[in-house]
Amino acid sequence: MKRDLDRLMQERGLDAAIVWGTVKGNSTMSYIVNGAKLSHVMVVKKRGQDPILFCGTMEREEAEESGLPVVDTSKYNYRKIMEDAGGDRLKAAVAYYKTILSEVGVTGKVAFYGLGGIGRNWLLLRALDDAIPEITITGEFDDDIFLTARRTKEPEEIERIKAVGRKTCEVVQHVIDYLKSHRLDGDALVRSDGSPVTVGDCKAEIRLELAKRMLIEEVDTIFAIGRDAGIPHSRGNDADPIEAGKTIVFDIFPQEQGGGYFFDMTRTFVVGKASPEILEAYRQLEECFDTVSAKLEAGAKAAQYQTQICDCFEKQGHETIRTNPQVTNGYVHSLGHGIGLDVHENPRLSDFPGIDDTLEPGSVFTFEPGLYYPDKGYGMRIEDVYVVTESNEVVNLTNFPRDLVVKI
């Protein structure tokens, strides 16, 4: 949570944290400016003090929404700085930031955060490090103070995730109703005029229903049928017809418009009737889902659940990524990930060297086992979101049935 930032800075010996970049697409910036709809700004946080927001005159009204003290950067007169630098933009940028950091009294160990051009910012930080003797630039490679603080959510953040979740469930229900509104002609789902309903048609419905609810797709929703459902990353092929008996993996992870909180859930459907093989695989998937999710508890190491789910699937006779890192038929990925301002954040329910996350009060994360048999033309996944409450309960936030068969 945000209140952890000062403690984390203390523990890591940081005197100041500086966040650069746009707000959109830059979750660290979005977090520190409390979601204010700004374009390209800078935030300076000295340890033990409130962050200060630096932005241009034109965005003064949006800046107020951040609740942070705001400095209008027009007073630094960038045109004059550029003239003094003879049009050399790197030189001008160094002069500009040097002025600001000196004015705010930033000294000591300083780390930079946020999203930006990789080579460009490497040059700029190197030049700033040389130009300002009062500061020593340092960096954090992974699990930085912001990502660490964001491992646990405040109640208001959880409410926003829940609200996105409710809307997401409405969209999933809409798609089920859309499928049901058609008829089968042999194995093909068709319109009243006999033309086939396709993956692209379903995706168009999803897009519109999300837009109606002020939600966006950061990247394409997964709506993959048959063999594609057996490849976890496949987003599905628009031209594919919806056919009875094939599994459809529908993994939807929308974000609040303008760059906000995500939700993330997956349901697997078979239109019409499922084969005994698919029914049995789905029964096994549900069995492992229920067995392992029942053991989720506050304070537990997240990686252990990946071990448990592999145990469960292997006992059923499936190959897993634990026994074969290159596996493509069986259980082939990690069990889950935190969600928040990024669709993938901490804690990670992965068994991987260097990952040592714990489920803590305020953790919000997905739990998403799946079974994939692309060679047999099917795949399936169930994904719910869980939160660990302040009273150490683990609560499922995905209030949606997981019936496999969509009867037509």
Residues 252-281 that bind its own copies (CB under 8 A): 257-258
Residues 343-382 that bind its own copies (CB under 8 A): 352-354
Among 7, 65, 185, 208, binds its own copies (CB under 8 A): 208
Give dist(CA 194, CA 27) in Å, integer. Answer: 46
Which residues 6+ apart lie within 8 Å of 156 measured at CB?
none
Residue 239 within binding range of its own copies, rule CB under 8 A: no
CB of 146 to its own copies, least distance (A): 10
CB of 218 vs its own copies, minimal distance in Å:
7
Q: Which is nearer to its own copies, 141 or 194 (CB)?
A: 141
- The residue within the footprint of its own copies, chosen from 1, 104, 163, 231 (CB under 8 A), is 231
* Positions in 305-344 near its own copies (CB under 8 A): 325-326, 328
C-beta of 140 vs 314, nearer to its own copies: 140
Nearest to 53, CA basis, from 87, 29, 77: 29
Q: Whole-number minimum distance, CB 69 to its own copies, in Å?
A: 20
Least distance to its own copies, CB of residue 403, Å: 28
Footprint (CB under 8 A) of its own copies, residues 146-205:
204
Strand, coil or helix: 164: helix
H/E stretch holding 124: helix 118-131
Kindly tell me which residue out of 50, 88, 177, 375 binds its own copies, with binding defined by CB under 8 A. 88
Tell me whether residue 58 or residue 131 sits nearer to its own copies (CB atom).
58
Strand partners, 44: 18, 52
- Give the 3-state secondary structure of residue 345: strand
Helix axes 118-131, 89-104, angle to 10 degrees: 60
Residue 89 near its own copies by CB under 8 A: yes
Residues across the chain: 408
Closest CA to 272 of 125, 91, 408: 408
Tell me how far, at minimum, the Cβ of 231 lies from its own copies, in Å: 7
Closest contact distance (angstroms) between CB of 33 and its own copies is 14
The whole-angstrom separation of Cα 295 and Cα 142 is 28
Q: Is the dihedral of CA 200, 205, 208, 213 positive or negative?
A: negative
Q: Hey, what are 352's tokens?
A: 């991987």
**Residues numbered 90-119 forming contacts with its own copies, rule: CB under 8 A:** 90, 92-93, 111-119
